Amino acid sequence: MKIAIDSSQILYETGVSSYTKNLIEGLLQIDKENQYIIFGGSLRRYFELKNKLKLFELKNNHNIFTKVFPLPPKLTDLAWNRLHLFPIERLVGDIDVLHSSDWAQPPTRAYKVTTVHDVIPIKYPKLTHPTIVSTHVRRFNIVKKVVDAIICPSESTKGDLINLGVSLNKIFVIPEAPESIYKPATKTQIQKIKSKYRIEGNYLISVGITPRKNVERIIQAYEKVKTGKKLKLVVVGEAKTEISYRRGVIFTGPVQSNELPVFYSGAEALVYPSLYEGFGLPILEAFSCKIPVVTSNFGAMREVADSCAQLVDPYSVSSIVEGIEKAINNRGELVKKGSERVKKYRWTNIARSTLKIYQRRQERKVKKIEIEKERA
Name the domain count of the chain: 2
Instruction: Please indicate, yes or no, whether residues 201 and 333 belong to a single structural domain of this protein.
Output: yes
The pLDDT, as a whole number, for residue 85 is 87
Q: Which pLDDT score is estimated for 322?
A: 97
What CATH number has the domain bearing residue 29? 3.40.50.2000
Residues 42 and 153 in one domain: yes
In whole angstroms, what is the distance from residue 298 CA to residue 138 CA?
Answer: 28
The CB density around residue 182, as the number of other CB atoms within 10 Å, is: 21
Same domain, 160 and 249: no
Spatial distance between the Cα atoms of 206 and 214, rounded to a whole number of angstroms: 10
pLDDT in tens, 56-98: 988 776 789 999 999 888 888 888 888 888 999 999 999 999 9
- The pLDDT tens digits for 343-368 are 999 999 999 999 999 998 877 765 65
Distance, C-alpha 204 to centroid of its chain: 23
CB neighbourhood size of 142 (10 A): 17
Asked if 337 and 196 sit in the same domain, the reply is: yes
Using DSSP's 3-state secondary structure scheme, residue 163 falls into: helix
Domain with 214 in it: 187-344
Burial class (CB in 10 A: 0-12, 13-18, 19+), 169: exposed
Co-location of 230 and 197 in the same domain: yes
Look at residue 230 in the predicted model and tell me its pLDDT: 87
Is 286 found in the same domain as 156? no
Q: Is residue 137 part of a domain?
A: yes
The three-state secondary structure class of 341 is helix
What sign results for the dihedral spanned by CA atoms 215, 316, 212, 276? positive
The per-residue pLDDT for 376 is 55
Q: What are the residue ranges in the chain where pLDDT is below 70?
A: 61, 240-245, 365-376
Whether the model pTM is above 0.85: yes
Task: Please indicate, yes or no, whether residues 63 and 128 belong to a single structural domain of this protein.
Answer: yes
At residue 144, what are phi and psi to the nearest 5 degrees?
A: -60, -35
In this prediction, residue 369 carries a pLDDT of 54
> What percent of the chain is helix, strand and coil (3-state, nearest 5)?
50, 15, 35
CB 323 within 8 A of CB 310: yes
Residue 314 CA to residue 276 CA, distance in Å, equals 10
352 and 323 in a common domain: no
Q: SS3 of 250, please? A: strand
What is the three-class DSSP state of 200?
Answer: coil
Cβ-based neighbour number of residue 157 at 10 Å: 25
- Same domain for 316 and 212, yes or no, is yes
Pair (154, 279) in one structural domain: no
The radius of gyration computed from the CA coordinates of the chain, to the nearest angstrom, equals 22
Indicate whether 182 belongs to any domain.
Answer: no
Indicate if 62 and 21 belong to the same structural domain.
yes
Same domain as 234, residue 210: yes
Q: How far is CA 21 from CA 9, 10, 52, in A?
A: 9, 7, 10
Closest CA to 218 of 203, 197, 201: 203
